Amino acid sequence: MLDYSKLRFLIIEDLAHFSSALRSMVMFYGVPHEHIQVAKDAEQALPLIKKTRYDVVLSDYNLGEGRNGNDILEEVKHHKLLKSACIYIMLTAENSTDMVMGALEYQPDEYLTKPFTKEVLNARLERLIARRDALLPIYTRIDKGQPLEAIKLCTELADQHPRYKGYLLKLRSELLMEQQAFDQCTEIYRSLLQNKFVPWAELGLGKCCYHRDDYSGAEEHFRKILNQNERYVQAYDWLARTQRAQGDNEAAQQTLVNGTEISPRNVRRQALLGELSMANGDMAVAEKAFNQSIKVGKTSVFRDPNHYFNLSKVIGERIKEADSRTAKRMRSKVTTLMDEVRSDYKRDPTVTVQAHLAESEFHLRLGEAEVSDKALQQAYEACIKEGSDVSNDIKEQLISTLQQTGKEDVADKLVQHMQREESIYNHEAVELYAQGEIGRALVLLKKARAEKPRSFAINLNFAQVALRQMKQNGVEPRLMVQVGQCFKQIAVLPQNDKRYPLSQQLKAMYHKMGGK
């Protein structure tokens, strides 16, 4: 019988009576009371996940208002917040196709429909924990960033644990794919497909063909999957990607339409369909897709303000052919969209400027020069007020728009402001850091933060230099607090910002050093 006494559980459930029942079940198995934590929603769960190493997460799908269990799983997977060995079980009383497909896309370890008995849950847990324990050396290597060692262990442990051979072949192929070892991947997939149809192996063969620029071969594999199982949504994504690579954007659009009909709750798929349809000139499909990306993205880690701005552009195109009643509704829709995006991203000055720019462009399309100029002036004023917190890309876009609309004098003022706005301390610190003068750079960045405490650029630079110093000289508690403050300031940095990948790398380093 499995020993539960050392395992740590997180229960995510908004209904008190059911979370209490789950706690009782888990304690019945032998988990100590102090090893069980309960969260009622994402706002409680995610901070716990970030600071505690759990063995098992039991998450309900429906958590009331706000983010659901799938949103949590999506964020956890995207940011790699849980260790590879952690078991994630999705619990739900719902069984709608949309919900099930959405949940399964992010591949929880198990999917359990309510109601269930303690015997049923125990059986699932024992099976998953037994596998986890047998394969723990692999998961440890993955988390340590040692993929080649993990790949080697997949082969060795398959001999020791033949019951997990299929699972290990899949895991090994995924690790090899990440290393772009396409020949070895192909060998695994073909050996499996000799005897029976295995969808993930067929998908893997298609990916290998795609990465070798064999697009016709890739398309053949993806179509074969869909002929056998039209609900295998990943095949739609890869088929559309392959069609785009061959220049067949209309076919790619239809493929994504089919994919979104099967699983409509994927934010990125809806947004990609919107972008592709807009490029194809199919504004009706684009409008529907961007509407969906905004609707399902409200609580998703993949929500993006550009979905709002793209929808505004699409409506601006469609309104030209609309009757007066429909045009009035569309105009109101754009106003609501821009108010909404400003509210949702109120801590991001770049989005504020973008929203004013989008309004200006929309009204300019309608020939409403006076309204357009007013929005453009608001964009300029917001840009001047927020200074270095507005991304340079958006500033350049604003300058270009001002010049194109005959406002060269205002554009020149903005250029001059950009040249003056950056802290002299930050500029000098960047030069010192490049020369290896880390300590002196940090002194100047402290002064720069005092001058401009909200600046994304300065907070990011401070975090980078401070973490570098602590990596060399050891962790300093006071400096760790300051770095944590920097991350709070840049928390709203959008994922499409060029600085976002660096911010995530630095956050990972910060957490590795013990930051909360």
For the segment 385-444, what is each residue's pLDDT rounded down to a tens digit?
887 778 878 887 898 899 888 998 998 888 788 766 666 778 788 888 888 889 999 988
CATH architecture assignment, domain 9-134:
3-Layer(aba) Sandwich (3.40)
Cα 14 to Cα 44: distance, rounded to the nearest angstrom: 11
Positive or negative torsion for Cα 100, 104, 106, 110: positive
Cα 97 to Cα 104: distance, rounded to the nearest angstrom: 11
Asked whether 60 and 13 are in contact (CB, 8 A), the reply is: yes
Q: Which residue has the tokens 């821009």?
A: 338
- Beta bridge partner(s), residue 36: 9
Asked whether 389 and 455 are in contact (CB, 8 A), the reply is: yes
Cα angle for residues 427, 429, 430 (degrees, 5° grid): 70
For the entire predicted model, the pTM comes to: 0.80
DSSP readout, 145-188?
T-HHHHHHHHHHHHHH-GGGHHHHHHHHHHHHHHTT-HHHHHHH
- What pLDDT is recorded for position 65? 84
For strand 9-12 and strand 36-39, is the pairing parallel, antiparallel, or unpaired? parallel
Please identify, in words, the CATH class of the domain defined by 425-512. Answer: mainly alpha
Per CATH, 9-134 and 425-512 having the same topology is answered no
- What pLDDT is recorded for position 153? 98
Asked whether 334 and 360 are in contact (CB, 8 A), the reply is: no
- What pLDDT is recorded for position 447? 84
Asked whether 210 and 238 are in contact (CB, 8 A), the reply is: yes
CA distances (Å), 69 to each of 25, 73, 411, 412, in order? Answer: 20, 6, 47, 50
Cα 380 to Cα 358: distance, rounded to the nearest angstrom: 13
- The domain locations on the chain are 9-134, 425-512
- What pLDDT is recorded for position 163? 95
Asked whether 31 and 4 are in contact (CB, 8 A), the reply is: yes
Asked whether 58 and 25 are in contact (CB, 8 A), the reply is: no
- What pLDDT is recorded for position 247? 94
- Ranges in the chain, pLDDT < 50: none
